[in-house]
Every structure is written in C-alpha cells, then in structure tokens.
Amino acid sequence: MNYTQITPLEREEMLEAIGVAGVDELFSSIHPDDRLAGPLNLPPAASELELQNELNALAEENSGAHTHACFMGAGSYDHFIPTLIDQVVGRGEFLTAYTPYQAEASQGALQAFFEFQTQVAGLAALDVANASLYDGATAVAEAAMLAVNVNGRRRVLVASTVHPDSRAVLRTYFEELPVTVVEIPAGPDGIIDPEALAQAIDNDTACVIVQSPNFHGLIEDWNACFEAAHSIPKTLGIAVFNPIACGLLNRPGECGADVAVAEGQPLGTPLQFGGPYLGLFAAKNAFVRKMPGRLVGETVDTDGRRAFCLTLQTREQHIRREKATSNICTNQGLLALRATVFLNTLGPQGLAEMAEQSYHKAHYLATRIAEITGFALKYPDTRFFNEFVVTCPAPAAAIIEAAVHEGFLLGPPLDTPATGAQGSPNDLLICATEKRSRAELDSLVEFLAREYGLQTSD
Amino acid sequence: MKSTHADALTRPEIHTMGTDKDANVTTENIVTATPRGDRPVEPLVFEKSIPGQRAVTLPPLDVPETALPSEIVGGGFPGAEIGQLDLMRHYTHLAQRNFSVDGQFYPLGSCTMKYNPRINEWAASLPGFTGLHPLQAETETQGLLRLLFELRGFLEEIAGLDEVCLQPAAGAHGEYTALKVIRAFYHDHGQSQRNKVLAPDTAHGTNPASCAMCGANVITVPSASGYTDVDALKEVIDREGADTIAAFMITNPNTAGLFDSKITEIAGIMHEAGGMVYLDGANMNAILGKARPGDFGVDAMHYNTHKTFSTPHGCGGPGSGPIAVTTKLAPYLPVPQVEYDDVRSMFSLNYNRPKSIGKVRSFFGQIGVLIRCWAYIRSCGPDGLRDVAEMSVLNANYLASQLHARYETPYFEPGKGKWCAHEFITVPKSLLAHGVTLLDIAKRLIDYGIHPPTMHWPVHDCLMVEPTETESKRTLDTFIDAMSRIADEIESHDDAMHDAPADAPVRRLDEVAASRKPRLTFTDSQ
C-alpha cells in the first residue's frame, strides 16, 4: 500500500493528456546505465493488518517506563503527560502542515508558536525566545555560536558538569573552527567553583556555559558564575536549564544569564528513546538578530487586525546562505506545540507543584537510600533538584541489571561512553519525578537494602 | 538532606499572565458578546487566563516535604491559567486557522507534502516505543534496536550506498553531519587543504550555510538551462585547484525539477579531481526504485524522511535527515551506530568507532520519526516505492502539461521531450505583465482552498509546484481549474487579485513591520 489514488484508467488519460506512451518515457533523462535494473532488495509490501501485528511484536519486545517504575533521568525525564496533549497535537491541521511561510494560511501554527515563545521566555525569565531548535545539546552549541558571533572571541568555557552529550556536540561544532572549547572541572562538592571559573576567564572568552541542575542533579551557583563571566565586558553567561525546575527554582534571567537553553523534552514529550526532542532557546533582547532558528512575530494585516508571521528571516539560510546565523531551517514544530499545550494545561500552579513534588520525592528517596548501610550520597552537602548520585556498595551496572527483574528502571551507570565516562563504576544516578508513588520509592529502597545493604537502619 | 517537613516551605508566587494582579477583577462587565463578524481574532491564551482556573490537577504529595531554602526558589513560571474546555476550544480555533495536507491540496515544491499515513502515527505512539529511556540497557530494547537496524538496511539499499547513520535531526543537520564526515576523511588522509565545497547556484540555502558551519568555503557553480554547466564545473575546479576541493553538493533531480542526465560525467570529473559528490536527497521521491545515488556516483547523501518517507511535517518539525555514505567514509560517521553484534547475538549501539567525528546531537536520533519511516517503507515494499516515484512524476507532468500554455514553464518543454521530474517551475511572465505580482497569485490560491506553491525559488518570480503521488486526478483537475480561473481574473484585471486572500482568517500581512520592530512575545503591558 503506497497511498496513491490514480486509477489505471485515469493513468491512461493522464499519459494521453501529457502526450507520452508510457510513464517510462517521463524518466528518459535518466541515462539507461544509471537506472536500477531490477526491484529494490527490500521486504515485500506489508498490509496494514500485518504491520500492526509486526509492530506490536517489536514494541512488546521492549521494557521501559511503560512496564517498569522509571528512576532514570540524565537528560530525559519521565514526567506526567496530560491526555490533552496527544489529542491536540494529533489533529491533522497541526500534524500535516508545513513551516508557516504562507502566514494567511497558517495563523493557527503561528499563534501557537508565538505563545510558545512567550512561555519559553517566561520560563527563562529572559526577553525573547525562538520557536525551538533540534534538541538540548544542539541548543547549547548554537548558544555558544551566538556568543562567538556577537563578541568575536575565540574561547568557549563550559562547565564539565554540563550534560555529556551537550559537551560532545559543542566539541564537534567547534572542532573545525578557530575556537577553543575549554572545560572547567567541578570542585569536590560536584559543582563549579565560581572562583576557579573567574580564574579561567580572560579577554578572549566568548561565553561561560553552566547547567543547573547539572548532569548530576546538583544546583549550581548561577549568580556567582555569571557574575564571574561579566567581570570581562561582553562575555556572555549561558545558562542550561531544566524547564520543569523553572516552576520552582531560580530561573536563568533571575541569576544574570544572557542566554538560556534547555532540553525541552520534560514539557510533555515522552522519553521515546531520546528523540525527537526539542531545544529551548531564550535570550536578552540585545541578541535577537543573532539568534538561530525560526522566530514568529506579531504584526497586523491590511485592516489592522492582529496577526502573526515568521520574522527576521534575513538571519536565515534561505536568504543569507553561507552568512546565515545557522543552517537550521526548521523548528521542532509538533514538539513545541506539545510543550505549549503542556504548559497551558498545567498552568503556573501545576508546574510549581510538579517541580515541588519532584523535589520532595527525590529528597525523600535520597534520604532513605543514604540510610542503607553501604550506600551514600556522593555529594551529601550539595543541593539538588530531582536526581542525585549514590555511591553503591556494588557496581552500578550489576544493580541496574538486577533491578530490571524487580520492576525498576535504574541508571545509567556513570562510567560508560553514553554518560561521558566521568564517574566511578559504583556511582549511580537516580531520579524521581512526581510520577513515582511513595510505594514505588519505598519498594526501591527495600530492594536495594535487601540485595545490597549490609543492614538497614530506620 | 534530612526531611525537615516541619520547616516552613518557600514557594514561588503564582503569577498569571494577561491579568492585572492589582486590579480588582470581578466577573462582571469584563466580557462583551459581539457577532462574530468579519474574521474574528482568536485571543492569545494569556488573554483568556482567569486566576484560579485549572485544566488538570496532580495527586496530593504522598511523601514528607523537604525544606526549600529561599535562596534557591525563584519567581515561578508566569503562564496562563485556563480550564480544560476553554483550552481545548483555544486549540480547536487555532487548528481551524491552519491549512494542512489533511485539509487542503498543498503543492509546495521541494517539500513533498504527501499524505501522512495514520498507521505510522499509531506505530510511533506504541508505549513499547514511547516508554523507552535512551540510556536503558540494550537487552531491554531489542525490539526497537532491531527496527532501527532494519531501517538502516532499507535506506542503504534505496541509496545504493554502504552505510547509513540515522542520527541527524533534519535535512540540514544531515548535510552538516555528512560534510563533517567528508572533512574528517580528508584530515585522516593528509588532505586537510581540501576545504572548498562546490554548490550550484540553485542549491538549497542550507547547503552553503552547512558548509560555513564546517569551516568550508563555498564556491558557486553556474547552471545552464536548469542543469549543472559541466564546462563551468571544470573551469571552477581548474581555477580553484583540484587539490583544494572537498566535494560538490548537488541536488538530483535538481531544484529546477530536472534529472541531470550528466550526473555520472559530473561524478567522474569530481572523482578525478580527488573530490566527492554529495547528494542533497530532497528530491528522492522522484527516483525511488528507479535509480540509486550510489550507482550514479554519489559518495554521500542525506534523506529527508519528512519529504520522501511520509513522516509528518508538523508545522515545521520534527524532521529527520539520515545520511548514507560509501565504505571509505563510514568509519567517520557519528557515534553510536546501531549494529548487530555477532558475538553477543544481539542488536547494540556501538560507541567504539575511533575515527568517528563524535556526536552531533543528544542521544541517537529522531526515533519516533524513524519508526514512521520504517512503517512507510514496509507498507510500500519495493514495487510500491517504485510506483511512488512513477506516480509523483506522472502527476507533476500532468499538471505541467495542462498549465504551461498560460503559466510558462522554462524547463518543461514537451515539444522537445523535456519532461519534469516530480515537480516543476513556472515563471508566469505573460500573466505578471498584466500588473499582478507573484504574491497576488499565491494569495489568491488560498481563496480557492489551495496552499500556494513555493515562491521565488530557485529563481525569482517562479512558483515551484510539487503535487506528490498521493493526490487524486480530481484534485489535480481542481487545481488546474483554479489556476486557469486565476489567469482569467488576471487577464480581466479583476481587483480581487490584489486583495487576496479574501477568504482567510486574516487579510494580507504587513511582514515588513514585523521585522522592523520585532515583537516576539506577549507582555502584560501590551
């Protein structure tokens, strides 16, 4: 089934109208030597019924947050997703539209993105936001690129506590360009020492990138870090934030950030094995014309009626070509739509409660795990949000494997390539969101105590 | 981190947008009922906000609270408060203000706006796929890894190339990734001086932008009659120096809607110069199962699954841009690669590729999009894919043949046996001579319930029309009739043309004002 609708009779009529004997004649510009002789070597067409069965079987082979209690975080979070989101985003008017170039035929998408931009700016406590980028990691790299373009400097300072994927993409982005990426190590408390950061900043520093909560869940001192950044005029402070945390914790703009970026997945997008997600990008007004990605602006029609359109397109590749601010020519439309529906469904109160509950549940869990003999919080004196590192009495990989059989998704281990290979084998990152019930938290503690604890104290 | 729930908690203050907190708002006199009238504006969600409304609630907290030190607590999220019904109505109204493939013919050239089959949506939403955390153990995700590995194989076969990387998030991201791979190959082979990338003057704007991001210089190669000018290509190579050239980025069928029959000659010239041929796969729809890039000399390419393989465009994303390369480029592809591990007899994600360019994105790819892509290829099968190419080319040629008498088609000349591929360009000079603009024609199509074609690209004053294979003859005939009526209106100097669209939620916009003083967010003071 390939969803074509031309009947054999219509096909003959059309060929006659064109004036050719057969379809092959229309392919005459492909040299016979360049044509594929036989059929592609692919499995034969499957009917929809067969596909349903096959896909169900493939899906059922996997276990995940739908079958297990998920305690995994590390940049991808299992938050509550209101039913309304799929109902709205599944509407064909949104699902099957293109980038809203023709504004008069795309007011729905444009208004939704304008509302999205307003919300992202509100989360970040900054002036403006774009209509989204590919994901959190590329958003970090694009933010650094903006800084380099704004002040023409050649050094990018990034905290080593930023998500390893973001740092890896940052390295890839700048590898061919005359810009050096310098990683600032964390102190023994797991966060960046603002004084060490201040030492590293010089007159050629384009920006300072600090993520909070950081990759290990710890809350960085953005205020002090960005104050250090601003000790050199024109050096930008770039905050990497968690949008759920913004319902509760200090927001980037409240702490002196010039640009703020985030992985937007927690806002209503399922885990779905890491993608598609969306990058959030907010900035101070001063940087609007250097921002990457699509921007929706408010304007009026010829009657003076409020309307919306894509704007500042002269920054973009289809006009500026090699001088564009970025090669990006899409946003993550449906995911931005998911995020804005999510934020409107929860509202300010709901987002605050989601953040608070995540905070309280993670702290309850951390406290109880730390009470198990043999387990300890790796950074007991540092504040965290919804995830934390536990030093275990056994290799994390073994605990994770055993936990799956008990109905828990744990991990990741912190010594693997997927997590930047920064931890020791016994370090385990654990996350709790509002979705984890007390019963689930308690049974995880009970499992860890029973299998690995020497004895529990209560 | 002791639980100290006896401590007072610090909470962000709830700040609602769109309502003046200090005003003594009552339910009286704040609304006025008016007839809908001419094109009502849909208020912003913030303007509909009413403090205290909720669309959803969370269960009560079931663990003891932990103290929240005031120095870490921020000002909270300033959003709208709105009940579920009013929120649903808001999005229903917005949806009604949008053209879409589901609702309208959408012949947007170069974008391949084909039907998005719903089995694909169903597949991507299965909990066994959406529930997977990207960092789970491979043993728990074998079903999905198998699907991804199979898709790799499908895309390798369709391209006629050796190895596919599924990771890039969009076509432009695929270009960028492949260029990085090509650069890495040359660094590794002691030819770092190859930093020039050739591109035809009709290339997608992303091509030069992607080059710039890789630190490569872009050299433009002129076209002649819609094709790459082979002599000009040779001249450019001689002028720039063969040993400085990394690649030629070509779109084939090209952006003029033509299959370049000299593609193998071009590839030969590039390979002789020691460079590579990169294919922008935007127009793969026209050659599925008919010709394979690897067979006509391409070394690397990207797909746009949202064009060729029916994954939805979603108002601008998410797309997905897998790349395919030859064996010699494969070692440089991003990590991790989805593979079948013979030793462990399982599918795995391999990070152990020492020559890899590293990572280009978070995690591994646009998985939800790739699932849809797999479902589409399985649904079509080899014969169905070839038929997609044939029907897309048939539909485009049918439209061109019925329109070219009044809408000039510079590169479609049936008298000379010069057909188009899956799309064609019209530069309607004789109609424009009546004093209308291309924009007038485009906006008038909206009144006929048709999304305008791509405008002014790849040449000025052109419409690029791509019907796709999924449209019925009846829809095509309706489009032909609409275009013909618009031509009548132009020739009879009907003023309606300049006021179009007459039948849309808004009239023509002032896009210049929008960029002169950009207003990108709603603020309470508006």
A299 shares its domain with A448? no
CB A187 within 8 A of CB A216: no
In a domain, A38, yes or no: no
Determine, for residues A48 and B119 on separate chains, whether the beta-carbon distance falls below 8 Å: yes
**Chain A positions in Cβ-Cβ contact with residue B82 (cut-off 8 Å):** 344, 347
In a domain, B118, yes or no: no
Query: What ipTM does this complex have?
Result: 0.97
In a domain, A33, yes or no: no
In a domain, A166, yes or no: yes
B217 shares its domain with B258? yes
For residues B56-75, b (16+ Cβ closer than 10 Å) or e, as one string? bebeebebebbbbeeebbbe
B393 shares its domain with B245? no
**B327, B343, B377 — which closes off a domain?**
B377
B154 shares its domain with B276? yes
**Chain A positions in Cβ-Cβ contact with residue B120 (cut-off 8 Å):** none
How does pLDDT run across A108-118, given as a tens digit for each residue? 999 999 999 99
CB A109 within 8 A of CB B106: no
Determine, for residues B313 and A18 on separate chains, whether the beta-carbon distance falls below 8 Å: no
DSSP per-residue codes, A348-404: HHHHHHHHHHHHHHHHHHHHHHHTBTT-EESSTTS-BSSEEEEE-SS-HHHHHHHHH
A357 shares its domain with A286? no
Which 3 state secondary structure label does DSSP give A301? strand
**B78, B97, B116 — which closes off a domain?**
B97
B418 shares its domain with B465? yes
- Residue A454's pLDDT is 77
A226 shares its domain with A374? no
Determine, for residues B134 and A76 on separate chains, whether the beta-carbon distance falls below 8 Å: yes
- Residue B20's pLDDT is 52
A144 shares its domain with A205? yes
- Residue B7's pLDDT is 44
Per-residue pLDDT for A289 more than 60?
Answer: yes
In a domain, B395, yes or no: yes
How does pLDDT run across A43-97, given as a tens digit for each residue? 999 999 999 999 999 999 999 999 999 999 999 999 999 999 999 999 999 999 9
In a domain, A273, yes or no: yes
B201 shares its domain with B320? yes
How does pLDDT run across A416-435, given as a tens digit for each residue? 888 877 778 999 999 999 99
Which 3 state secondary structure label does DSSP give B169? coil
Q: How far apart are CA A253 and CA A284, in angstroms?
A: 9
Per-residue pLDDT for A286 more than 70?
Answer: yes
- Token pair belonging to B161: 């190339």
B365 shares its domain with B338? yes
A333 shares its domain with A197? yes
Domain of residue B204, CATH code: 3.40.640.10
Q: Is the dihedral of CA A377, A378, A384, A387 positive or negative?
A: negative
**B343, B377, B411 — which closes off a domain?**
B377
How buried is B149 (Cβ within 10 angstroms: 0-12 exposed, 13-18 middle, 19+ buried)?
Answer: middle
For residues A335-346, b (16+ Cβ closer than 10 Å) or e, as one string? bbbbbbbbbbbb
CB B120 within 8 A of CB A384: no
Determine, for residues A301 and B506 on separate chains, whether the beta-carbon distance falls below 8 Å: yes
**A317, A340, A363 — which closes off a domain?**
A340
- Residue B5's pLDDT is 40
**Chain B positions in Cβ-Cβ contact with residue A377 (cut-off 8 Å):** 1
Write down how long chain B is.
526
A98 shares its domain with A179? yes
Distance of CA B340 to the CA centre of its chain: 30
B365 shares its domain with B472? no
How does pLDDT run across A240-254, given as a tens digit for each residue? 999 999 999 999 999
**pLDDT per residue as tens, chain B (526 positions):** 433 443 445 667 776 676 554 444 455 456 677 777 778 899 999 999 999 999 999 999 999 999 999 999 999 999 999 999 999 999 999 999 999 999 999 999 999 999 999 999 999 999 999 999 999 999 999 999 999 999 999 999 999 999 999 999 999 999 999 999 999 999 999 999 999 999 988 777 778 888 888 888 999 999 888 889 999 999 999 999 999 999 999 999 988 888 888 999 999 999 999 999 999 999 999 999 999 999 999 999 999 999 999 999 999 999 999 999 999 999 999 999 999 999 999 999 999 999 999 999 999 999 999 999 999 999 999 999 999 999 999 999 999 999 999 999 999 999 998 999 999 999 999 999 999 999 999 999 999 999 999 999 888 999 999 999 999 999 999 999 999 999 999 999 988 889 999 989 999 998 888 888 899 999 865 4
A323 shares its domain with A353? no
B244 shares its domain with B300? yes
A187 shares its domain with A227? yes
How buried is B272 (Cβ within 10 angstroms: 0-12 exposed, 13-18 middle, 19+ buried)?
Answer: exposed
Point out the residue among B180, B296, B509 whose CB comes nearest to the CB of A172: B180
In a domain, A6, yes or no: no
Domain of residue A402, CATH code: 3.90.1150.10
The alpha carbon of residue A206 is apart from the nearest alpha carbon of chain B, in Å, by 17
Residues 6+ apart with CB under 8 A from A91: B91, B95
B250 shares its domain with B163? yes
The alpha carbon of residue A406 is apart from the nearest alpha carbon of chain B, in Å, by 14
The alpha carbon of residue A200 is apart from the nearest alpha carbon of chain B, in Å, by 26
Which ranges constitute the DSSP H helices of B276-415?
305-308, 367-403
B53: containing domain: 10-97
Residue A254 CB neighbours (<10 A): 17
Determine, for residues B17 and A366 on separate chains, whether the beta-carbon distance falls below 8 Å: no
In a domain, A369, yes or no: yes
B82 shares its domain with B157? no
Interface test mutation site (partner A, options B130, B135, B296, max chain A beta carbons within 10 A) = B135
Q: How far apart are CA B252 and CA B152, in angstroms?
A: 22
- Residue B38's pLDDT is 78
**A292, A312, A340 — which closes off a domain?**
A340
- Residue B202's pLDDT is 78
- Residue B24's pLDDT is 46
Which 3 state secondary structure label does DSSP give B101? coil
CA distances from B145 to A297, B139, B279, B337, B370 (A): 41, 10, 27, 10, 11
Q: How far apart are CA B390 and CA B396, in angstroms?
A: 10
- Token pair belonging to B454: 């791509």
Which 3 state secondary structure label does DSSP give B391? helix
Determine, for residues B457 and A113 on separate chains, whether the beta-carbon distance falls below 8 Å: no
Determine, for residues B469 and A14 on separate chains, whether the beta-carbon distance falls below 8 Å: no
Residue A210 CB neighbours (<10 A): 31
Q: DSSP code of A235?
A: P
A318 shares its domain with A415? no
The alpha carbon of residue B281 is apart from the nearest alpha carbon of chain A, in Å, by 15
CA contacts within 13 A on the Cβ side of B207: 26
Q: Is the dihedral of CA A49, A55, A60, A66 positive or negative?
A: negative
Domain of residue A299, CATH code: 3.40.640.10
Residue B80 CB neighbours (<10 A): 28
CB A142 within 8 A of CB A219: no
- Token pair belonging to A443: 């049974």
Write down how long chain A is.
458
Residue B88 CB neighbours (<10 A): 17
Between positions 93 and 152 of B, the ones with CB within 8 A of A are: 93-104, 106, 108, 111, 113-117, 119, 121-137, 140-144, 146-147
B348 shares its domain with B471? no
CB B457 within 8 A of CB A329: no
CB A286 within 8 A of CB A270: no
Point out the residue among B91, B157, B395 whose CB comes nearest to the CB of A88: B91
Whether the ω angle into residue B501 lies within 30 degrees of 0, i.e. cis, is yes
Determine, for residues B473 and A19 on separate chains, whether the beta-carbon distance falls below 8 Å: no
Q: How far apart are CA B369 and CA B168, in angstroms?
A: 11
A292 shares its domain with A226? yes
Q: How far apart are CA B32 and CA B438, in angstroms?
A: 41
A367 shares its domain with A399? yes
Q: Return mean pLDDT, chain A.
A: 95
How does pLDDT run across A341-357, given as a tens digit for each residue? 999 999 999 999 999 99
Determine, for residues A104 and B290 on separate chains, whether the beta-carbon distance falls below 8 Å: no
* % of chain B with per-residue pLDDT over 70: 94
Point out the residue among B68, B310, B365 whose CB comes nearest to the CB of A275: B365
For residues A87-99, b (16+ Cβ closer than 10 Å) or e, as one string? ebbebbbbbbbbb
Radius of gyration of chain A (CA): 25
Segments of A264-302 assigned E as strands: 279-283, 296-300
Point out the residue among B57, B133, B398 whose CB comes nearest to the CB of A271: B133
The four Cα atoms B327, B331, B337, B341 give a dihedral, to 10 degrees, of 80
- Token pair belonging to B189: 């082979």
Q: What is the number of structural domains in chain B?
A: 3
- Residue B19's pLDDT is 55
Q: What is the number of structural domains in chain A?
A: 2
Residue B295 phi/psi, 5-degree rounding, is: -75, -25
CB A112 within 8 A of CB B94: yes
The helix (H) or strand (E) run that includes residue B165 is strand B163-165
Domain of residue B432, CATH code: 3.90.1150.10
Of the candidates B478, B475, B420, B423, the one whose C-alpha atom is nearest the C-alpha of residue B112 is: B423
**A340, A360, A376 — which closes off a domain?**
A340
In a domain, B124, yes or no: no
B339 shares its domain with B405? no
Per-residue pLDDT for A457 more than 60?
Answer: no
Interface test mutation site (partner A, options B13, B278, B363, max chain A beta carbons within 10 A) = B363
A224: containing domain: 83-340
**Chain B positions in Cβ-Cβ contact with residue A270 (cut-off 8 Å):** 130-131
Point out the residue among B9, B79, B95 whose CB comes nearest to the CB of A347: B79
In a domain, A425, yes or no: yes
In a domain, A151, yes or no: yes
A265 shares its domain with A120? yes
